[in-house]
Amino acid sequence: MTEIYSFYIDKAKNNKNSNHIDVNIPYPIIANNKEKLSIKMIDFKYLNNVYNISQELQNNTITLRKERDTYNPTIISQLRLPLNTIFFSNSEPTTNLRTNVELFSINGVKQELTFTNYKLTYFSPTIPSNNASLLINNIFIETNQTNKITNFIAPTSYFILETSVIQDMVITGYSFAVNNSVSANATIKTFIITIEGSNDNITYTTIPKTETTGNDVIFQIYTNIPNFTKETTNAYRDLTNNQSYKYYKVSFTTSTTFDLSSFTLSNLQFRYATYNLVLSTVPTTPLNIQMTIPEGFYKSSTFIKTINDLLVPHYIKATLSPLTNKIQFLNSYVKQNVVALKYEIYIDQSSTAIMLFSNENIKTTYGINKNEITLKNGIIIIANNNINLTNFSKLIITTALNFHNKTHNEIVQGSDNATGIGNILTCIDNDEVPFSYIKYTNHEMLQHKLGNKIISNIRFSFYNERSNEVYLSDAFIHFQIIKSKK
C-alpha cells in the first residue's frame, strides 16, 4: 500500500525574507523497516527577478590597482625676499613707491600696497584716513635701519603678505629690528615675532622657529644711548617650514606690558626657498581603487556604458566587439607634466593600471581567464572570451534530506560566498525574460528514494550554476512525500 503526502507551499507565507523554504510537518511521517520514503517534485513556479549583476553574485565591483610615482619637494636655494624693490623705488628718498604700486587705506583698519604678484597689508588701529599718508615705510632695505613705522603698536599691529606667484612661497627665515628713541631703558624689554601661514586667509598655522634662542629682539638695561636699535642675532633666524603658503601673517608681542610710544619697527627681512619636485627612488605603494556597479538586470550595451562611467575618470575605456562580443580595454592616460606649484608631496599615477578579477563570477562576466590584466598606455587589451551576463542560467533546488543514491555534482564555485550544496532535487532552466514567472513541471514524474525513516521538517535551498545561494522573493512549490513498501 502506498501513502502519498502532498504539500503546497508558498514561500511568502513563512520564508519571505530567507534564501530557503522550511517546511515543518506537524505530524512526522514515519516509515518502518519494511517501508521506504521518497520525495517527488510535482511543479514549481518562481518570479525571475534575480539580477545578473549583484552583490550576491560578487560580480558588481571593478578593482583597479594604479602604480604611482612620488615626487618630493626639494629646496634648490634660499634667497632674500626683496620687498624694498618690489614696492619701493630705488631712487631717494627710499620711501617713494614704485610706479603703478597701488596704495589703499581704510581709516583705523589697514593700509595696502599692491604690485603685480604681491600685496602687503599693514593692520593698525592708528591708520589715518584713506590714502592720507604712507605708513608702510620702506623698512625692508637689508642694511638700512633709518626708516621706521612710527605707529607700530604690538600686539595690535601686524602685516599680511599675500602672493599670487605661480609657485606658492616657502618662507624659511626672518630678521627684524626695533628702535628705541629715548636714551635710557630701565627694564629688560623683549619683542617677539610670530609668523603664520595660510592658504585661505582664514585659518592660520604658526610656523615654528628652528632654534630656541636668538629669535627675539631684547633690550637690556642701559642709559645714555639715544636712538638705540636692536636686531635679531645673525643675518636670519631659521624657520622650520615644510609647507608653502599663499598668505603669511607677521605679528609682534612683548614679554611684558610696557610703554611702547618710544619704540618703532625699523627693519624687517624675509628669506624664502626656491624648490622643485624630484622623483623619489623609493617605490610608492600602489593605490587600489574599488568601484561598484549598481545592481540590476544588464544587457551588453547598458553594461558597457555603466562600466565606462566608472572607468573613464581613470582614463580607461571599454568597448564591445560587435563580431566577437569580446570586451576591449584601452588605457589612454597621458603622463602629466610635473610642476611644483606647492611645497608638498606630489603623487602622479603611472601610465600603467592593473585590473583585478577576484573570483570566477567576475571572470565569466568579462570573459577574462586570468586573475588580473595589465593595461599599459595606448595598448588595447582584448578579453579571452565573450562577455557573459547570464550568471544565473540554472536554478538548482536542493534539499537536506538524505538521498539513498546521493546526487553527484561538479559545479564551479564562482565567488567567496559560494558554498557546497546538498542533494539536488532538480535543475530548472532560467532562460525567460526578467520579471517573468518561470514554471517547472516534473513531466517524467521522477522521484528520489530517501534514507530517512522519519521526516518532521524539510529544507529546500536554491542555488545558481556557480554555487551561489539565490534569493527568490516569490516562489510556490508543490511536492509529495511517498511512503511505500520496499
Q: Please name which of 408, 402, 398, 400 lies closest in space to residue 450, comparing C-alpha atoms.
A: 402
- pLDDT higher than 90, residue 293: yes
pLDDT tens digits along 1-14: 788 999 999 998 99
Q: What is the mean pLDDT of the chain?
A: 87
Give percent above pLDDT 90 in the chain. Answer: 41
Give the three-class secondary structure for 410.
Answer: coil
Q: Please give the Cα distance from 62 to 313 (Å, whole number).
A: 13
Q: Please give the Cα distance from 147 to 138 (Å, whole number).
A: 6
Please report which helix (H) or strand (E) contains residue 63, including its range.
Answer: strand 61-80
pLDDT tens digits along 69-97: 888 999 999 999 999 889 888 654 445 78
- pLDDT higher than 80, residue 453: yes
The count of C-alpha atoms lying within 13 angstroms of the C-alpha of 168, restricted to the half-sphere facing its C-beta, is: 17
Q: Please name which of 189, 192, 183, 180 lies closest in space to residue 222, comparing C-alpha atoms.
A: 183
3-50+392-485 fold: Jelly Rolls (2.60.120)
DSSP state of 312: G
pLDDT band at residue 116, thresholds of 50, 70 and 90?
confident
C-beta of residue 483 within 8 angstroms of C-beta of residue 5: yes
Section 424-444 average pLDDT: 85
Q: Please give the Cα distance from 470 to 178 (Å, whole number).
A: 81
pLDDT tens digits along 127-177: 776 655 677 888 888 888 888 887 777 778 899 999 887 778 899 999 999
Beta strands in 341-405 (DSSP E): 346-356, 372-375, 380-386, 394-399
- In this structure, what is the dihedral angle of CA atoms 243, 247, 248, 251, given to the nearest 10 degrees? -140
End-to-end CA distance of the chain, in Å? Answer: 10
The one-letter amino acid at 7: F
- Say what the pLDDT of residue 323 is: 92
Q: Please name which of 327, 308, 320, 330 lies closest in space to residue 376, comparing C-alpha atoms.
A: 330
Q: Please give the Cα distance from 438 to 470 (Å, whole number).
A: 15
CB 35: neighbour CB atoms within 10 A? 15
pTM (whole model) above 0.85: no
Section 185-195 average pLDDT: 91
Give percent above pLDDT 70 in the chain. Answer: 94
Q: Please name which of 76, 77, 95, 78 lies closest in space to residue 87, comparing C-alpha atoms.
A: 95
Q: Residue 187 burial by CB count (10 A; 0-12/13-18/19+): exposed, middle or buried?
A: exposed
Spans of all domains in the chain: 3-50+392-485, 61-72+281-386, 74-278
Section 233-262 average pLDDT: 88
Q: Please give the Cα distance from 51 to 342 (Å, whole number).
A: 48
- Say what the pLDDT of residue 383 is: 95
C-beta of residue 61 within 8 angstroms of C-beta of residue 363: no
Section 47-54 average pLDDT: 85
Q: Please name which of 385, 373, 376 lies closest in space to residue 327, comparing C-alpha atoms.
A: 385
- Say what the pLDDT of residue 92 is: 46
- pLDDT higher than 90, residue 318: yes
- Say what the pLDDT of residue 416 is: 58
pLDDT tens digits along 192-229: 999 999 999 999 999 999 998 889 999 998 888 888 88
